[in-house]
Chain A
Amino acid sequence: MRRRTRRSQPTSSTISNGPVDKLEESDGLEKLEESPPPTPSTAHAPDASMDLLNQIIREPVDPDYALAAARGRDPSQGRWMLGVLALIIGALFAVAALQTTRAAPALKSERAELITRVQAAEREQDELRSRVTSLTEEIATLRAAALGDDAARAVESQINTLDPVVGNVAVTGPGVLIVVDDSPSATADARDRVLDIDLQVLANGLWEAGAEAVAINGHRLSSLTAIRSAGDAITVDYRSLTRPYRVEAIGDVRTLQARFVESSAGAWWNDLAQNRQMRYEISNVKQLDLAADPGIVLRHAGRAAS
């Protein structure tokens, strides 16, 4: 848009442009930036479309200075105006600089405030999660009290069998602890880092090997748990993990480790440990305490057939 209007100036009104502008300036009208094209030859210059830039570079000083000088100075114009203007400019500089330096700590505190708010929200989330866990336990007790008769008791025992498997209750028992971490040179090569898929493979391998309950960094896995990467971090149930990753699995200690190592997941991690120098330590543990998955909620409830 601008280019077109600029271009049309020299071609359409080259002849009239110069004298008119001259006239205006000699009238004493202080025109900034605008000045007539110096010579008519620029109208056909190859860089005619760059007129604006050329003009800026060619005439950085106000042409009025030259005009006023040619007209002759009037010394009666006191120096006080210059002093006042200089005063204003100095004050402008000082105020702007002050404001910028003032704003810097304000921005910093704003950022700190946001960080504390995030942390408070995370704490609140933790509290709510623990409340969910306690409420779930309460539901279980109430259910046990409410389900009085024999048919209900059958349902109850089924629930009790299934609860630890799906991750609805906290469980304790012997199992396997696997600690994995990025290789020491992880900063140099992104491929040396533990990815979400590596943890997915690890968890699935543990299930395959007969684990009854699995948790990553204390986050219990259920069939609804998502292991994803978000930005730089891996998240489990949308909670980001910090390295190193501790994967705990409760199961039969005699077979769990061996079966895991033999599985495709074991081969996968063996490869990562060998070729990428990732940390991969697997050990049997006598007792593991895994919390319940707070992400499991009651989704469907119906009246038992009586």
Chain B
Amino acid sequence: MIPLIGLLAGIVLGIVLEPTIPQALQPYLPIAIVAAMDALFGAFRAYLEGTFTDRVFAVSFISNVLIAAAIVYVGDQIGVGSQLATGVVVVLGIRIFTNAAAIRRALFHA
């Protein structure tokens, strides 16, 4: 319940406050969000399996976001930024889909 409230509050806060992201960080925001989604789905699946832990979720979320952004940043520096971004999205996308399928099976038994 707390995470759901937090999520909604965060969305409201983001819309109301409209924090301006520094121009240098803007390209990494979408990738960071995909990484965050991956962590979220992983956490939800772990929660359904009864193995969820706050600490692991926090660490996995933060490092996921940072690593994804860092990969794209390094790629940008050496000229393969968009390719690496695609790679990150593909890998995380597969994980998200797999986790989503597991969550669906756990929730609906279908």
Contact = CB atoms under 8 A, between A and B. Distances in A.
Interface footprint category on A:
20 to 34
Contact of A99 (B4, B26, B60): B26
A303 interface: no
A276 B84 CA distance: 51
Given A83-B2, A99-B26, A77 B54 contact: yes
Q: Which of A56, A81, A89 has the most CB of B within 10 A?
A: A89
Interface string A84-98: 111111111111101
A114 B102 CA distance: 49
Nearest to B3: A86
Contact of B53 (A69, A83, A90, A96): A69
B69 to A, nearest CB: 11
A62 to B, nearest CB: 5
A94 B15 contact: yes
B40 to A, nearest CB: 6
A56 B6 CA distance: 29
A98 B29 contact: no
A64 interface: yes
A174 to B, nearest CB: 63
A87 B9 contact: yes
Interface string B15-48: 1001101000010011011001000101101100
B21 A56 contact: no
Interface in B60-84: 60-61, 63-64, 67
Contact of A92 (B32, B63, B99): B32
Contacts of B94: 53, 56-57, 60
Interface string B90-107: 010011001100100000
Given A83-B3, A90-B9, A90-B10, A32 B60 contact: yes
A87 B6 contact: yes
B7 A90 contact: yes
Please classify the interface of chain A as helix (H, G, I), strand (E, B), loop, or mixed, using the class held by over half of its residues.
helix
A86 B54 contact: no
Contact of A84 (B6, B8, B15, B63): B6
B67 A93 contact: no
A61 interface: yes
A99 B21 contact: yes
Contacts of B7: 86-87, 89-90
Contacts of B42: 60-62, 65
Interface string A122-141: 00000000000000000000
A95 B18 CA distance: 7
A24 interface: no
Contact of B40 (A83, A89, A91): A89
Given A65-B51, A95-B21, A82 B6 contact: yes
A166 to B, nearest CB: 53
Given A69-B50, A77-B54, A92-B32, 20 more contacts: A32-B60, A60-B45, A60-B98, A61-B45, A61-B99, A62-B46, A62-B56, A62-B60, A68-B55, A68-B56, A82-B2, A82-B58, A84-B6, A86-B9, A87-B10, A92-B36, A93-B33, A94-B15, A96-B29, A99-B26
Interface of B: 2-15, 18-19, 21, 26, 29-30, 32-33, 36, 40, 42-43, 45-46, 49-61, 63-64, 67, 91, 94-95, 98-99, 102
3 smallest CB-CB distances across A and B, nearest first, come from A90-B10, A94-B14, A86-B6
22 contacts: A32-B67, A56-B94, A61-B45, A61-B99, A64-B53, A65-B43, A65-B51, A65-B52, A65-B56, A69-B53, A73-B53, A83-B3, A86-B2, A86-B4, A86-B6, A87-B6, A90-B11, A91-B19, A92-B32, A94-B12, A94-B15, A95-B14
